[in-house]
Structure 1
Amino acid sequence: MVAVMSEAAAKAKKREYNREKQRIFQAKLVQQVVSLKDEVSVLEAQLAQLHLDKPSNIVDDVGLSANALSWKDVAAGLQDDTNRIVDINRRLRRERHSQKELLKTLQAWVNVQIRHSTTLCAPTHTWRNVTLLASPESRAVGYDWITAHLFYNTEAIFQRHAFPSVAPEEISGDFSIDITDPDAMQYVWRYQKEMDMPLAFVATCFRDNVWRSMMLGGFVIIHTEVYEPSNSS
């Protein structure tokens, strides 16, 4: 009997404790609500005072809010910039990879060109023995390299083979065979003519002949006519 009474008293005490705890919690909530209401009143009073003190030439806050971009518009703009930067980064990475591969190919190409079993004498150097690579990028670099060497050696070639300073109507067409080296016979054909015509026009007329005779495996003359302007009306 005593045990039952003690258990009932303990339960009653626990209920009383929970009620008191709930009362204190609710009192705190009420106090917080009252405090927040007071703070709202203070802030509203400050806002009203700011509106009263605001100069007339300042745009109203409502107008500023109406003209401002929404957070969705700002996020969309940032996303567009991010996508653009990512695309640029990917393009630069692809270009970097392509340039690295081109550099490897050109290094191998240069090593092939300079690796000879025997030393060649100066007159036997020829661009016909230079092999161009298959990829368009490396072939373009090879063309530029060969063209640059031809350009910078033009004066030396003219001096070695004694090209004359011809008059405008004089044509020089002769050939010579150098057999001083039995292992490397050299055939030189000279042809020179000065024309009072634009270089681009003359180059276009002779380009196919030179290309066919020097690069496509045989001396084949393609009929080409260059019409010089006549003084007759």
Structure 2
Amino acid sequence: MADATTPRSTTVVSAARLRRLAHDREAKRAARSAYIAESTQLQTTVKALTHQLYRIRGTLVPWKEVAAELRHMSDVAVLTNRQLQHQVLYYRQLAVRLDTWIQRMQPPTIAAGLAFDAWRDVYLASDKETRAMGLSWITKQLFHASEAHTAPSLFPHAIEDSVKVEWGRRGRQFIFQKVIAGSMQDAAKTLWSLNRAEGNHIVPGKQIPDGLVHVLHATEENSQRVSYAREEFMEAFGPSVEHVLHLRVIKKDRILIMARTIAQDAAFAPRVVRQSCREWYGFNGRKTTLLSMRRNEIRDIGNGQSLVRSVVFAEPAAAYETMTEYVLDLFPLEYERALAMRKDDMVVGSLEWENYLHRFMLTLGVACSRHYFAFFDKILGDVQDRPHLYSF
């Protein structure tokens, strides 16, 4: 009986042991799972920290390199500061020179002249920078002023030759319109040569030039050409010296040729300035009216013809109260001729004399205009016969 039957105490122990074994297995399984999870987390963390370390190491620079770079940046900053200081000093000095240059060209306080703009006299400095700026400014002023100095109403609507002359104590103004048998290029070459913009050019029919012309400055860029020349001629009253800036601009439908005198050039000895001359010439090619200071405007009007329109101003440097003062001072030979041709009973200085002297100068202006265009036609013929000798 004892072998067939298990005691109660033994049965209780076996059940407790089984529960303990099951608990141990579950605890070990949970511990193993926790270990695996913790190990995986640690590996991930180590990997992330390793990557972060590599990134940090990649951005680190040895302190010697940092010091060298700071020293280089400091040297560059010092050099830049010195350059800026030199530029500030240079531009401050340049501003003073430009101000002095502009002050030399203040508009005169004498009565208004014939031209619209107040820059009757202009001046060139001797130093290179101011001189270059002066030439550039005068060129631009000459070109842009041309629009204000001429208007369609100045010229006849008909395509025909026309001369208008205004000549009084404030100076003279010529307004020309001329139809020429030739191209715009022929007319432009003729005027460029007639104005002596390229220097000495032997006039057709003469063996030697009638004066000395030295080109002091010349540039050509795109459609614009500039020539600055010193002219020396012997006039009836004695030697004559002029500094003249010439400008040529080619437009799609016209060619503009302009010129003006420079009152004083600091590169040369001062001279007595008696008159300020500005001229616009224009050559254009359709029957529309365009502008011309010595402005010349040239247009092609078809049938082998071109239309030349010109406006010329010559204003005295001083103010004159009467025509007598003006003509006697600037044109003494013409004054003597007028005096010899007056009526016997005409009193010099009277209103009748003033009116007579005014008419005399107007007549002289018309005669000068005709002589000018006769000379123009002569040079035009030579331009057409020998085009290779001329340019514009």
Please, what TM-score do these two structures have when normalized by structure 1? 0.48
Higher relative contact order (CA 8 A, sep 6+): 2
Q: Which has the higher helix share?
A: 1
Q: Which has the higher strand share?
A: 2
Please, what TM-score do these two structures have when normalized by structure 2? 0.32
